[in-house]
Amino acid sequence: MSKEQPFAALTPDFILDAVESRGFYSDGRAIALNSYENRVLQIGIEDSNPIIAKFYRPNRWTKAQILEEHDFCFELVEQELPVVAPMLTQGESLFEYKGYYCALFERKGGHAPELDNLDNLFTLGRFLGRIHKVGQAKTYALRPELTPQTYGHDSIDYIIEHALPPEVKMPYESLARDVMKLVDELWQKAGQQRYIRVHGDCHVGNILWRDDNPHFVDLDDSRMAPAVQDVWMLLSGERDQQQKQLLEIIEGYQEFCDFNVAELQLVECLRTLRMIYHSAWLARRWHDPAFKHAFPYFGSVQYWQEQILDLRVQFAELQEAPVSLPTY
């Protein structure tokens, strides 16, 4: 398959043939869902509910790495946690069809959680505590860790070598290196981190709210990371708002799992790493036509000037006191 067009073979007929190879008979409907890294589609099934088919981006994860994530999902389901795990078809959660790895999922409805509702945040915290309790029980042997090196330094190196226009190369590199120096210092200041299996991309787009409870989807970015990685993306607004939100989340969390408050030092570090990693992700995927269509101004001088401004803001945020829990 072409590096420039990794999903070129995924024609409608190819997709339906792949699904039908697992014993599902399509009614011919296939609706593309919002996903860039992989290709995810809702497939209509004759005389039954639709299912979700996920075609993994070639050469991103190995088969063993994908199965590690699937096993984690199954462990969570065994503990009656609301995680949408892959279906077992012909005894397998992952199958290969003409060069593509694919998994099938039940379709689950729901809407994004209202994060300005403190009761919702308490509930999310309780479920995250239970998820992390399971996540602590084992480690990933093959999936990577989220660290300043893997998400920050490696991303900056790639950006400098492959993506920066000459006009902004010096100011971006100088600022990014300074920002990462501070991230490294804060990461060390937070103390020895306990890395556990986490969701990895726990934002509102990957949480479906249904029946007054969250349902977690898409653990594709699951990896070893500090527990706070699954917490910080649920915080928003001004500092006082984030403090209230954090209190609700951690109160719910600690009903099931201890939370290391020293990790709160990492919240702005993780936000910074995500910003840098996102730009590197776009650069690495730029050969895929879907990215050119979805992010048309990526790589322009204007894009990188905006990134420089955002990193300057983050540099200031990193020097502020971190969000914290009240002490009594």
CB 221 within 8 A of CB 201: yes
CA dihedral over 215, 220, 224, 228, signed as positive or negative: negative
The one catalytic residue among 17, 47, 201, 212: 201
Catalytic residue status for 218 = yes
Q: How far apart are the first and last CA of the chain?
A: 60
CB 240 within 8 A of CB 233: no
SS3 83: strand
Catalytic residue status for 116 = no
DSSP string, 213-229: EEEE---TT-EEE-GGG
SS3 307: helix
Q: Which tokens go with 219? A: 């653990």
Instruction: Give CA–CA dist 169/163, Å, rounded.
Output: 9
The one catalytic residue among 13, 47, 212, 218: 218
User: 11-31 burial, b for 16+ CB within 10 Å, e for fewer?
Assistant: eeebbbebbeebebebeeebe
SS3 322: coil
Binding site for Mg(2+), by residue number, is 206, 218
User: 69-90 burial, b for 16+ CB within 10 Å, e for fewer?
Assistant: bbebbebbeeeebbbbbbeebe
Amino acid at 135: G
Residue 196's DSSP bridge partners are: 225
User: 150-171 burial, b for 16+ CB within 10 Å, e for fewer?
Assistant: ebbbebbebbeeebbeeebeee
CB 197 within 8 A of CB 188: no
Catalytic residues: 201, 218
